[in-house]
A and B are shown apart, each in its own frame.
Chain A
Amino acid sequence: MRGWLFVLPALAVYGVFVLRPLALTAQSSLYRWDGVGPSTWVGADNYVAVVTDPGLRDSLVHALLLVVAFAGGPVLLGLALATALRPGPSLVLVLPQAVPPVAAGLAWSVLLSSTGAVNRALEAVGLHGVARTWLGDSSTALAAVGVIGAWALLGVCTLLLSAGVRRLDPALYEAVRLDGARRWQEFRAVTLPGVRREVGVCVVITSLAALSSFDVVYVTTGGGPGGATSVPALEVFYLAFAEREVGLASALAVVLVVLVLAVIGPVLRWSR
């Protein structure tokens, strides 16, 4: 029981700053409230709105698509880089992690603009037809945001995975090589099982970044064009502060929490 006394301060802070807001959000989600005046009880209406409103539903789908880009890109590329550069990643690879997401978003929106470096490069190799305003075209905007997020997260994944790779016993590599394994077999038999935990952590970090993405989307597209890149966190922000629909915003936030747990839970169990 005395152990509890020691934990109490931390638990109190956790309760006040994490659990209480979470509980208040869940409570607000059952009301119609403008954030200032009186509120009215609406029961589950806000949750019904979250799943029936096409705009809000789309934002949840976009978040799941971003998980594929944010997690898939950095984990696969990170694994390849970590394996190839077994001595350790160079500073260049970690650099994106040191750039604040807002700055990265601004820099990328210049690169991806109609006269930006990406289009110039495409035109230089004769791909005039491919060049476009990547962030201003509803068919490419979400993919472009995915690339920016993947770029920003590549560093941390490479760092984590190469730490994992370096931890592996070189004797294992020697053994499979004596058994006549090729590089790919070496990777499958030694590297991948060895860094399973690190892969798990990477997937968790990147999926969280995708599901709760806000800053990159806010500065590059603001959710546009025509709602093509709307994501739940941005919708929560607009609902609560522009439309003053605090109840609906809270319901969407709760759904987002559930979605995050549903995505992260299995990954954590797998990597354990």
Chain B
Amino acid sequence: MQRPDLHRARLAVVALALLGIGCAAPGSDLTSTVDGPAVVSEPSCGTEPLTLRARFETGSALAGALADEFTRQHPNVTWDIREEQFDVLTRNAPRVLADDPPDLMRLPQVSDVAGAGLLRDLDGYARWFGWDRLPESQTRPLRVGPGGGPRGEGPLYATGLSTSVTGFFYDEELAARIGVREPTTLAELDDALARAQRAGVTPLAGFNGGATGGLTFPLQSLMGAYGSPEEIDDWTFQRPGARIDTPAGVEAARHLARWLAAGYFDPDLNATDYARMMDRFISGRALFMVNGDWESATLDRRMPGRAGFFLTPPLRAGEPRAAMAGPPSFGIAARAEHPDCAAVFLDWAVSDPVARDLVVRVGGARPLGGAATSSPVEPGSVTAATFAATDEVLAHDTAMDFIANATGSVYARSWTPQLQQLVEGEQTPEGLLARVQADYLDQIGG
């Protein structure tokens, strides 16, 4: 027989639990305060003291350096900067923009948050400041159509501080020892890889461990060589009908599978993270590494005079070379307190001579917009090589966004596990792309 007070206790617990729940469904309709392009009249930071609230990425010294310089030039502006790990920043972006909107926020992927009305439409500022005259390849990924897609068209929701480019870094000392020159075709690259292997050097440093499928870098580089960057961008931007399992895509995946089968990567590829890959390359244990110019400054510092860079070579000599590129981008929250001043900062960062110098010196990247930079780049450095590569990609308009950014979850859910299975021989190149395509349709259809 149950004691009555025990019974009452259970009732009380249930009542307490029910107290906690309202009857309403979770979530709320977000009413954006900004509809359509903002009407802009002389954006400025004024003369009154104001504090810009910003969310930057931990470990990226450039944003902080630019903020300091901006305050030096605009003494009425002070900063409230919170730095967070890149993945934390990405993961919390919608919540932060909804609950505690900063003025400026570093955002790698804008579709979801722009579609949810959490970001300010920057077209008005773009017209005012002339950002619409920036190289189209650098702003395209930051345009979002109505409701979050497709990307690549529609209003601008973020803007970058610098251009970026990816390709093959190589160890010049090892290359000289093995007798390898910068390849001009994919076949020459294959030959260089084989020579490195014969010389007992790991041909390609890579990372594909844990939750980071770093093989997307070499895979997409090969896709750019076999196919057209526009076709790949169509897929990444979620244009209706776009596919990743195209004949060119399959050829690229097969090529990557051949590299894997030949043992061009270290056998522990699936347990190697980004930092370990960098370490192996810098310490001279691998000939090549597919990576981006965000590491140029680091490589010049840690292996001075020893690092070289070339864009992924094309199938046939002389064809334009494509590259993954995505400028480190910043958006302004829809409910930002000082959107005008934030926009002034973004424009200042790409137009002020001191700021542009900082982009080169601290960021190791080529500043966005404008042809030359007054800042000296040491000839022969890897930074100089990535600058030249950037110019080539801009001139040919062969930049493409990262396939990992196609949807919010395609990287974690599809590319990473499928590429890890490709490494283990549990997935075929055709199966890999078919599976990613099916997941992708599922993700954008839902």
Contact = CB atoms under 8 A, between A and B. Distances in A.
Given A15-B20, A241-B91, A243-B409, A224 B26 contact: no
B268 A136 contact: yes
B271 A19 contact: no
Contact of A41 (B16, B25, B98, B209): B25
Interface stretch (B192-200, B251-259, B412-420): B412-420
B20 A20 contact: yes
B12 interface: yes
The 5 A-B pairs at the shortest CB distance, nearest first, are namely: A136-B271, A20-B20, A222-B211, A222-B210, A15-B16
Contacts of B211: 222-224
B27 A225 contact: no
Contacts of B266: 114
Given A15-B19, A226-B426, A243 B26 contact: no
Given A20-B20, A113-B271, A222-B212, A242 B27 contact: no
A231 to B, nearest CB: 13
Contacts of A36: 27, 30, 94-95, 98, 116, 118
B25 A242 contact: no
Contact of A113 (B19, B116, B208, B268): B268
A133 B98 contact: no
Which of A34, A135, A242 has the most C-beta atoms of chain B within 10 angstroms of its own C-beta? A242
A28 B25 CA distance: 8
Contacts of B28: 37-38
A11 B12 contact: yes
B359 to A, nearest CB: 30
Interface string A161-172: 000000000000
Nearest to A41: B25
Contacts of A12: 16
B7 to A, nearest CB: 13
A40 B30 CA distance: 15
21 contacts: A19-B13, A19-B16, A22-B17, A31-B25, A33-B26, A36-B98, A37-B30, A41-B25, A133-B268, A135-B209, A136-B270, A137-B271, A138-B270, A138-B426, A220-B210, A222-B212, A224-B210, A226-B420, A238-B409, A238-B413, A244-B94
B426 A15 contact: no
Interface in B3-32: 5, 12-13, 16-21, 25-30
Contact of A15 (B13, B270, B409): B13
Nearest to A144: B271
A115 B29 CA distance: 53
A3 to B, nearest CB: 8
B236 interface: no
B270 A133 contact: yes
Given A34-B94, A39-B25, A225-B424, 5 more contacts: A12-B16, A33-B26, A38-B28, A133-B270, A136-B269
B57 to A, nearest CB: 17
B91 A19 contact: no
Interface in A213-251: 220-227, 238, 241-244, 246
B20 A224 contact: no
Interface string A123-155: 000000000011111100000000000000000
A27 B28 CA distance: 15
A16 interface: yes
Given A28-B26, A36-B98, A226-B424, A242 B91 contact: yes
Nearest to A19: B17
Nearest to B8: A4
A226 B209 CA distance: 10
Contacts of B277: none
B105 to A, nearest CB: 15
A23 interface: yes
Contacts of A238: 409, 412-413
A114 B12 CA distance: 56
Interface string A9-29: 001100110011011100110
Nearest to B25: A39
A136 B272 contact: yes
A35 interface: yes
A68 to B, nearest CB: 24
Interface in B222-269: 266-269
A195 B5 CA distance: 34
Nearest to A234: B211
Contacts of A20: 16-17, 19-21
A133 B420 CA distance: 13
A224 B420 contact: yes
Nearest to B29: A38
Contact of B116 (A22, A37, A39): A37
A226 B426 CA distance: 9
A220 to B, nearest CB: 8
Contacts of B21: 20, 23-24, 27
A221 B26 contact: no
B421 A225 contact: yes
Given A19-B13, A224-B209, A224-B270, A38 B27 contact: yes
A79 B346 CA distance: 64
Interface string B259-289: 0000000111111100000000000000000
A20 B13 CA distance: 10
Contacts of A113: 268, 271
Contacts of A241: 91-92
Nearest to B413: A243
Contacts of A4: 12
B18 A138 contact: no
Contacts of A220: 210
A190 to B, nearest CB: 37
Contacts of B427: 226
B112 interface: yes
Interface string B154-178: 0000000000000000000000000
Interface in A41-100: 41
A111 to B, nearest CB: 12
A39 B29 CA distance: 9
Nearest to B212: A222
